[in-house]
Amino acid sequence: MSFLNDPELFRELGPNEPWPPDTLPLTDPVTGKRYVPRDNARQNKVKVEAAKTNGGSSNPKPEPEPEPEPQPEPNGSDPNDPSSWIKPPPQPDLGIWYARDIDPTKIPPRRWLLGNSFCRKFLSSLIADGGVGKTALRIAQGLALAAGRSDITNEYVFGGPHRVLFVCFEDDADELNRRIAAAMLHHKVSADDLDDRLMLAVIKGKKLLQMARHGAIKPGELTAWLKRAIVTLKPDHVILDPFVKTHGLEENDNILMDQVCDTLATLAIEYNIGIDAPHHTRKGVHAAGNADEGRGASAVKDAARIVDTLTPMTAQEAEQLGISDRIHIRYDNGKYNLCPAGEARWFRFVGVAIGNTNVDPTYPKGDNVQTVEPWKPPAAFDGLPLAVIKDVFDKIRQGPQPDEFWARNRQAGEDWVGSILTAAGKSKNQAATVVETWIRNDVLKVDDYNSPKRKRASITRVQLNEGKALTILAGLQKTMQQANNP
The predicted-structure confidence for 299-324, as pLDDT tens digits, reads as follows 888 888 899 999 988 887 776 666 76
| Cα 469 from Cα 130, distance rounded (Å) | 50
pLDDT single digits (tens) 146-162 = 999 999 999 999 998 99
Whether the pLDDT of residue 197 is over 50: the answer is yes
Cα–Cα distance for residue pair 252/242, rounded to 1 Å? 16
Pair 198, 183: CB distance under 8 Å: no
What is the Cα–Cα distance from 127 to 292, expressed in whole angstroms? 9
Mean of the pLDDT values across residues 270-278? Answer: 96
- Taking the C-alpha atoms of residue 335 and residue 306, their distance in angstroms, rounded to an integer, is 6
- Report the pLDDT value the prediction gives residue 50, as an integer from 0 to 100: 46
* Mean pLDDT for the stretch of residues 52-75: 54
**pTM: predicted TM-score of the whole model, two decimal places:** 0.68
Work out whether strand 118-119 and strand 279-280 pair parallel, antiparallel, or are unpaired. unpaired
Note whether 219 and 208 are within 8 A (CB): yes
Q: Looking at residue 39, what is its pLDDT? A: 61
**pLDDT digits over 201-214, tens only?**
999 999 999 888 77
Residue 5 pLDDT more than 90? no
Residue 380: Cβ within 10 Å count: 21
pLDDT at position 30 over 80: no
- Highest-pLDDT range among 19-33, 181-195, 273-287, 421-435: 181-195
The pLDDT of residue 125 is 94
Residues 429-441 have a mean pLDDT of: 87
In this predicted structure, what is the pLDDT of residue 93?
A: 77
Of the listed ranges 140-149, 189-198, 226-235, 316-325, the least confidently predicted one is: 316-325
Q: Where are the beta strands (DSSP E) in 322-422?
A: 328-333, 345-353, 368-375, 406-407
Residue 61 has pLDDT above 90, yes or no: no
Question: What is the pLDDT, as a whole number, of residue 282?
Answer: 77
Kind of pairing, strands 306-312 and 123-128? parallel
What distance in Å separates the CA atoms of residue 138 and residue 276, rounded to the nearest whole number? 9
- At position 389, the amino acid (one-letter code) is I
Other CB atoms within 10 A of residue 398 CB: 12
Identify whether the C-beta of residue 448 lies closer than 8 Å to the C-beta of residue 343. Answer: no
Report pLDDT for 198.
Answer: 98
Cα first-last separation, the chain: 128
Q: What's residue 68's pLDDT?
A: 60
**Do the Cβ atoms of 311 and 288 come closer than 8 Å?**
yes
**Dist. CA 331–CA 242, nearest whole Å:** 18
Strand pairing category for 164-168 and 237-241: parallel
Please report, rounded to a whole number, the percentage of residues in the chain having pLDDT higher than 70: 80
Higher-pLDDT residue of 5 and 318 is 318
Q: Is the dihedral of CA 156, 161, 165, 169 positive or negative?
A: positive
C-alpha distances (whole Å) from 402 to each of 73, 262, 327, 407, 420 are: 94, 73, 44, 14, 16
| Residue 313 vs residue 25, higher pLDDT | 313
Res 287 pLDDT > 80: no
Asked whether residue 38 carries a pLDDT value surpassing 80, the answer given is no
- Could you tell me the pLDDT band of residue 471, with boundaries at 50, 70 and 90? confident
Inter-residue contact 393 to 286 (CB < 8 Å): no
pLDDT, residue 46, reads 45
**Range among 6-20, 215-229, 464-478 rated most confident:** 215-229
Q: What is the pLDDT of residue 235?
A: 98
